[in-house]
Structure 1
Amino acid sequence: MLKRISLLATAAVTAATAIAAAHPADAAPVTTKPLGHVRIANHFDLAAGQMPENIALLPDGTADVTFAGSRQVARVTPGGGTRVLATLPAPADGGATTPVLGFPLTTGIVRAANGSTYVLYATGTADLTGLWRLAPGQAPERIAALPPDGLPNGLALDPHSEQLYITDSVLGTVWTVPLSGGRPTAWSTASELASTGFLGANGAKVHDGALWVTNLDRGTLVRIPIRHGNRAGAPQVRATGLAGVDDFTFTGRGNEVLATLNAPNQVVLVRPDGTSTTVLNTDDGLQNPTSVALRGDEVYVLNAAYTTGKDPNLLLAHLPGHHR
């Protein structure tokens, strides 16, 4: 486990160096502090690989999270406990062939109205890499195989069409799979999704008739219209200069977005015109933020401590004037 954490830290440091070189400091978001009541609700066990990667909020106030370093999916009660729901099977080679990172990791997660939780798993092996379903009372089941030479990362659900969208950070592809599972379809391979050497297409959300995707290497937020028949429209870059951007969520105020910047240790508010403002940083307890979600006016931020190596946690904050 410690070797796995070390490998991840090495990869993250490499990414941080690349990000810093690609995005000069004078392009950084303006800093302000519009969020209030900031506090750390949960601390996770770094030595056990509990580096939280992605989050799905449940109606009862709990949240399901993926732990990148332990192949696990867990349920978290803010301010309370952490209960492991499932540990995905380890690949025979220990994950050594997983692209870029060299260890198996659980990434994107969504919760569907049918009560099932869907997660992505990258192992570098054909027998395990793909989309997994955790149905109540059942063992985890892979319902769609994805290319082992890729890195499935972001996961988004369109509840109307019951389609899942999957970003591949290595192959620069968005895959689509029905909620019931089956053979994935390459939905978009647009150049805006490609990496520049580390990880490209990352976070994903369905919003306002489109799939929105971040690109970590390029520091961009991209909108891809969902056309009739589930065809991908032409990508539109909506924001730039977001060095190390990972996951994001819409605030409910049009196309306004909260996004995590992993290596810079920031959460930023991205306005519809593409300008951004830093709303959380290391002073608030950020430790390589990976994912952000919003319930009412409560902001949930996961921190994986990939490079800080100190305190993986769940941070909560209040978004003033929010009426989602």
Structure 2
Amino acid sequence: MVRRSRLAAVVSATATGAAALTLLGTVPTSAVVAPPLSDARVVAHYTFNNEIQQTPENIVVEPDGTADMTFSLSRQVVHVTDRGTSYAVRATLPDVAEPHTPILGQAAVMGIARAGDGTLYVNYATGTSETGIWRIRPGHLPVQIAQLPNPANALPNGLALDEKHHALYVADTVGAVVWRVPQAGGTPRVWASGAALRPSPDASLPAGPNGLRVHNGAVWVSNTTRGTLLRIPALRDGSAGKIQTRATGLDWIDDFSFTGAGDTVLAALVAGNDTRTPPNGDTGRVVLVYPNGGHKTVLTHQDGLNSPSSVAVSRRGPLGKTVYVLSAAYFSSPPDPNLLRARLND
């Protein structure tokens, strides 16, 4: 999430790249990564220049250990191998003539979720009627299945699928709510709202709900400018229970992922250490958040992070239980959008 002026500054600071992807087969394993992670290395760099804006935003793991991710500003959904070193474009969301997406200023593909049959769902933010959830079935073009109301004041970000209850959940970063949408598509309904989901009142950007996961009978949401991780129970009738704050002090938290069946989380802190002022070039970090709310840093810029935006955990990756971290490089100059891979030892 970044203002148009900041994006322009990043682009102007970046030399035009000839290749859209650089492989790193010889990069040494990091010595900075902290337990329970090990063997951290950047396995692919992407391109951000005047022609190509490959900002890896969100990622979902396939059953075979491969993954699908969104290049937000290039409007692409791509499939990456289990080692992350190559990718193929699955879909490109349609161009919008005059996008006016809040905060971003341009069209962007954000969160991604996957159904058991391989169908992908993504959030598309444009500030126009195209804002909402789009479905991507294998071999088919993307189709919009839900349109968020008041798109000029909506930034659909994190996305999760509860396939058991046939429901999609959307974190609206600017609208400051969690939307619920039938998996088949239809009219979005506000599922959760309240002070805990609103941006910090003294924040420089109106950024509230960001990452979102369905886990152990609840919807978990991060609030970027409040630096909080929230748990919202899903009640038997499908409504939202009382919002619970599970961790604080996670400044500029973006997306996150659970390490396993318990409530331990790996969270990407996209940039900065003070939500009252704009990000200042801090390249961010990944933290391990314990069930009691305590947390520690496990990855930093010394491991290759460059404004990390998303984390995913695979039980079938090339290292066994593997962690993938996307760095969208929104707040770094020069930007280095990349994909990092690490082993999770637990």
TM-score by length of 2: 0.82
What is the CA deviation profile of residues 113-158 of structure 1, one whole-angstrom value per residue up to 9, with x for unaligned ones? 12210000000002x1110000111110000001312000010111
Shift, 1:159, TM fit = 2.0
Higher helix proportion: 1
Match of 1:85 in 2: 90
Shift, 1:7, TM fit = 4.3
Conservation of the 8 A alpha-carbon contact between 1:9 and 1:307: no
Q: Are residues 1:276 and 2:300 paired?
A: no
Match of 2:72 in 1: 68
More displaced stretch, 224-233 vs 195-204:
195-204
- 1:1-324 map, 5 Å: 7-8=6-7, 33-34=34-35, 35-47=37-49, 48-77=52-81, 78-93=83-98, 95=99, 97-126=100-129, 128-147=130-149, 148=151, 149-196=153-200, 197-252=205-260, 254-264=262-272, 265-296=284-315, 297-308=321-332, 309-321=334-346
Shift, 1:58, TM fit = 1.1
Conservation of the 8 A alpha-carbon contact between 2:322 and 2:342: yes
For residues 48 and 326 of structure 2, the distance between their equivalents in structure 1, rounded to whole angstroms, comes to 13
Percent identity over paired residues: 51
Residue 32 to residue 58, structure 1, CA distance change in 2 (3 Å): closer
State the one-letter code of the partner of 1:168: D
Three-state SS of the structure 2 residue aligned to 1:8 is helix
Stretches of structure 1 that go unaligned for 5 or more consecutive residues are 12-30
For residues 179 and 214 of structure 1, the distance between their equivalents in structure 2, rounded to whole angstroms, comes to 22
Conservation of the 8 A alpha-carbon contact between 1:9 and 1:306: no
What is the CA deviation profile of residues 59-106 of structure 1, one whole-angstrom value per residue up to 9, with x for unaligned ones? 23321111111111111123432211111112121x2x2112211111
Q: How many residues align?
A: 296
Structure 1 runs of 4+ aligned residues shifted over 4 Å read 4-7
Shift, 1:194, TM fit = 0.8
Shift, 1:241, TM fit = 0.1
Conservation of the 8 A alpha-carbon contact between 2:70 and 2:76: yes
For residues 8 and 337 of structure 2, the distance between their equivalents in structure 1, rounded to whole angstroms, comes to 13
State the one-letter code of the partner of 1:133: R
For residues 80 and 154 of structure 1, the distance between their equivalents in structure 2, rounded to whole angstroms, comes to 25
Conservation of the 8 A alpha-carbon contact between 1:262 and 1:289: yes
For residues 291 and 64 of structure 2, the distance between their equivalents in structure 1, rounded to whole angstroms, comes to 31
State the one-letter code of the partner of 1:105: A
For residues 58 and 299 of structure 1, the distance between their equivalents in structure 2, rounded to whole angstroms, comes to 13
Shift, 1:225, TM fit = 0.5
What is the CA deviation profile of residues 7-59 of structure 1, one whole-angstrom value per residue up to 9, with x for unaligned ones? 43669xxxxxxxxxxxxxxxxxxx97111111111211222111000001112
